[in-house]
Amino acid sequence: MKHRKETGEIVARVTGLAASGRRAAVATAVRIDGSAYRRAGAKFLVEDDGTTIGGVSGGCLEADVRAIARDVMRDGAPRLLHYDTGGDDRSVWGLGLGCNGSVDVFVQCATEPPASDTLQAVHFLLEHGAEPFAIATIVDPADGAGRSLIVDAAGLLTGSTGSAELDRDVARAALACLHDGVSWIDDIGGRRVFCDVIAAPPRLVVCGAGDDARPLVSYAADIGFAVTVVDHRQALLSADRFPSAKRVVHLRPDDGDVSTLGVNEDTFVVVKTHSFAHDREWVAAAARAGAAYVGLLGPRARREAIVAQLGIDAGRLFGPIGLDIGADGPEQIAISIVAELVAVRAARAGTHIRWNAETIHVG
């Protein structure tokens, strides 16, 4: 979910750079094998003055990719890079960095066609909608490298690979990729094509606009949630209190108009008004709407009282809310809540990573 937000920041920056006549290159991780800090689709923007945004690794590759990106800005020729451990675990990706894994990175000039045309279209889609779409890009270093086709869930197409026949094949594959929700790289029509899925942002509704909601909204928005803040106290809903929220809504849970919040089975809801009556009604509304997650701030006895009064399944209500990290104060509690949201969305238990036998972030 961070992927959509990061992509939006990068394409917005590219649009501004191109408009001012400056140059930049964008590097995209298109294939990952083994343990990795980032996933396929991670992007790294390198500007003509050396300024960077994003990343394709945990810092292992960026210096080398940055140097190559500056070459790409000078000659305009896209590159497909491969970094590998080889046979020596101490020599990661050939750079002596001490991690296991391999990654392919596609680098192209972002402020010149065809990439600039694609990124401008992506910028429009991200600014004017919340629907998922996929960007299918030719990444092998031959004629047409960097040409892209953008496909949305309805099958509408933007751009072209330069071949009508290849467009049809790529569009079909991109739709399947979009349906699966996973970015991948594959050979299509004799060309190496990377399909980058930009998923819809997960939605979070925070019921309660008190001071302790501010770090929660900020942290959740920063990792990619589209956050709505709702409260019956108009004075608490000023834009300067919640600058990262997509919406602030003045509403009481008993107004009979909670449908305007759009809560459904894909929505996460956190209830923290500090009023027992209001919390109970917001929990009831979220449960009726079938929210994917309903979390309640406060002690266990408070949750049990609300469950008993509403007659709902206690297993559907996360309360006390958050992961047990020994949090103290609004900021730490917000971290524990956001960590739980991420864990629930990923269907993970939220345990120590060192206890997991599986490789994390496999591309």
- Tell me the C-alpha distance between 185 and 201, whole Å: 23
Rounded to 5 degrees, φ, ψ at 45 are -95, 130
pLDDT recorded at residue 106 = 97
Give strand pairing partners of 191: 188
Calculate what percentage of the chain has a pLDDT beyond 90: 78
- Tell me the C-alpha distance between 215 and 352, whole Å: 24
Tell me the per-residue pLDDT of 84-123, one tens digit each, with 9 for 90 and over.
854 454 444 444 444 567 899 999 999 999 999 999 999 9
pLDDT recorded at residue 39 = 87
The model's pTM: 0.85
- Tell me the C-alpha distance between 238 and 257, whole Å: 21
Q: Does the structure show a pLDDT above 80 at 343? A: yes
Return residue ranges of the chain for CATH 3.40.50.720. Answer: 203-345
Tell me the per-residue pLDDT of 11-50, one tens digit each, with 9 for 90 and over.
999 999 999 999 999 999 999 887 667 889 999 999 999 9
Handedness of CA 60, 56, 92, 49 (dihedral sign): negative
Read off the pLDDT band of 362 (50, 70, 90).
Answer: very low
Rounded to 5 degrees, φ, ψ at 91 are -120, 80
Rounded to 5 degrees, φ, ψ at 311 are 70, 35
Candidates 3.40.50.720, 2.60.15.10, 2.60.120.10, 3.10.20.30; CATH matching 203-345: 3.40.50.720
- Alpha-carbon dihedral 71, 72, 78, 83, rounded to 10 degrees: 50
CB atoms within 10 A of CB 14: 25
SS (H, E, C) 176-188: HHHHHCCCEEEEE
